Every structure is written in C-alpha cells, then in structure tokens.
Amino acid sequence: MVWYCLLYSTPMAGQSVLFEGGGSLIDRWELSDSTRHGTFLVRPYKPVYFLLANWCNNPNKQPDSGNPETSLPVEVPLQAVECKFQFSFKFKAWEGIFGKHGDLWLAYSQSSRWQVYNSDLSRLFRETNYEPEVLLNFATDLRVLGFKLCMIGGGINHQSNGRSYFLTRSWNRALLQFGFIRPNWTVMVRPWMRLPEEVAVDENPEVERYAGRGDLLVVRMLGRHQLSFLGRHSLDLDPGRGSVQLDWAIPVKERFKVHLQFFHGHGESLIDFNHEQTTVGLGFSLIEWN
C-alpha cells in the first residue's frame, strides 16, 4: 500500500495543526502558497484506525512465499477474527527544491494484525508491516475529464514485516503518483515498479503479480461521511490478480468515527501477498483520507 493523499485543513491563528483532518488535497500536500507551513511539521498521511474485530473467511495458516527458504513448514492455528490497526504520518523535509517548485516529503506507515482473541497463541501479533517512503511532489494546474490534476510526484517505497526465517517478507518500489480533485471527490493514481532483487535471496518472488503493479484510490465525501475505494491490480491479463478495499467512515462526535472496512483479493498484508481472502472489519477511525 502506498503514495496516498490525506486532506488537511488550513489552521486558524494559534490553532495546532498536528494531525488535523478535513480540507483538500491541495491543503494536505501544501500545493499553493497559502497552504505552505514550512518543513518538519508532522502531518497525517494514510488513515489512522483501529478495527476491534476483523473477520477473515480464509486465514493464512501456512504462509508460502514461493521460495522454500521463506515458506512456513507447519500450520499455525490462527483464529478467523482478530484486531487490525494502522497509523501513518509524513513531514516535509525540503520545500522548494527547484526555486518554488518541488517539495521533498518523508513518510512512515505501520499496520498490524493482532490475534488478541487467540489465547492459545498468547494473543500474538500475527503480522506488522512497516512502510517508510521518500516522495518528491510538484504542484500542477491541469484539467482532465472534469477533474483538476493538482499534483504529480514520485518516490521510493520500502515495505517489510520485520520477521526472519520462514516468515520474512520485503520489497522495494519506485513509484509515480497523480492527484486529481473536484468538489467532494479525490482521486489518486499510483503506478509502481518493483526494484529488482537477486533470485536466490528474494523473500517473495513475483509479489507484484499478486499485490499489484499500481493502485487507484477514489474518495467520495457525502456530507461528513466518507466512502473510499482502493483497488490494486497486477496489470497482467491472464491471470489478473489484485485486490479491492472499501472503507466507510461514519461520523459520531467531532473527529471520532465508526469505521467499516471490506477487503477482497491478494495482498491484504505482506505475509498474505499471494493468499486470496475476504475480510470484514468494524472499529473506529480518527483520521481518514479527507
């Protein structure tokens, strides 16, 4: 997963801007003079949520990477219901690299799957994915099919699960991102290319054929409700693999929202990159895409 846009509201005088929500893609990535706030200020990136119950129809009890050195030889008694949570932030490290153009951002995201209801396995953290990124963005002002193309960027993404032996997974990607806006809509298009690794040490061969070679994020605001679609695809014709994730943030009080999440396909996490499953989660969120 990554390369996403969180939308940021311009603060009033004296108001803290740390992890504020709302606003537009232009605000979130500081793409105009009026929205620039300098460097090294922590901002939201991807959604921040906690799913109290995340049900899976097909738990991956014996992960197989396609490489015998990183495939689990035994089955693990996982439960179908677990917790899932994610936090994410970014900050601008360099503003105006080429005169007034080009901003360098550093970002970090982390998501965990926690078998908190599984006392037989000591309530272990089944999988945690760590994802640092370096992104260079440029503001644009182009019209495309009724949308404004307001941002073009690219960068390097690393994702790993911090495990060893049979359960280790990681990959590196070079990516592009294109941000489009119109009233109540945000669209992000992000193609990427996996950076090559030696076949003998590849922990997850052909991960891009399952987890995808790009994704599409579409965010729709309906009043204070937010609906989002995140689709990934391998761009292979036969077989075409990927995933679909749908999220619905339902406002309750101020920034607290009930959060519903549906996922189907491959790559829900790195350990599951080649494992097809459907998950349904319910919890709460504090920060969303908008």
Decide: 64 and 159 in contact? Cβ < 8 Å: no
Q: What is the pLDDT of residue 275?
A: 96
Q: Is 158 a catalytic residue?
A: yes
Per annotation, catalytic residue among 9, 37, 160, 264 = 160
Per annotation, catalytic residue among 9, 37, 158, 233 = 158
Q: What is the pLDDT of residue 7?
A: 31
Give the model confidence (pLDDT) of 220-254 as tens digits.
999 999 999 999 999 988 788 999 999 999 999 88
Distance of CA 81 to the CA centre of its chain: 21
Burial grade of 66 (CB within 10 A; 0-12, 13-18, 19 or more): middle
Q: Is 71 a catalytic residue?
A: no
Residue 29 reports pLDDT greater than 90: yes
Q: Is the peptide bond before 68 cis (omega within 30 degrees of 0)?
A: no
Give the model confidence (pLDDT) of 61-115 as tens digits.
999 998 888 999 999 999 999 999 999 999 999 999 998 899 999 999 999 999 9
Decide: 4 and 289 in contact? Cβ < 8 Å: yes
Report the run of H or E that residue 208 belongs to, with start and end. Answer: helix 208-211
Q: Amino acid letter at 118?
A: N
Q: Amino acid letter at 288?
A: E
User: How many Å apart are CA 288 and CA 290, to the nearest integer?
Assistant: 5
Decide: 25 and 235 in contact? Cβ < 8 Å: no
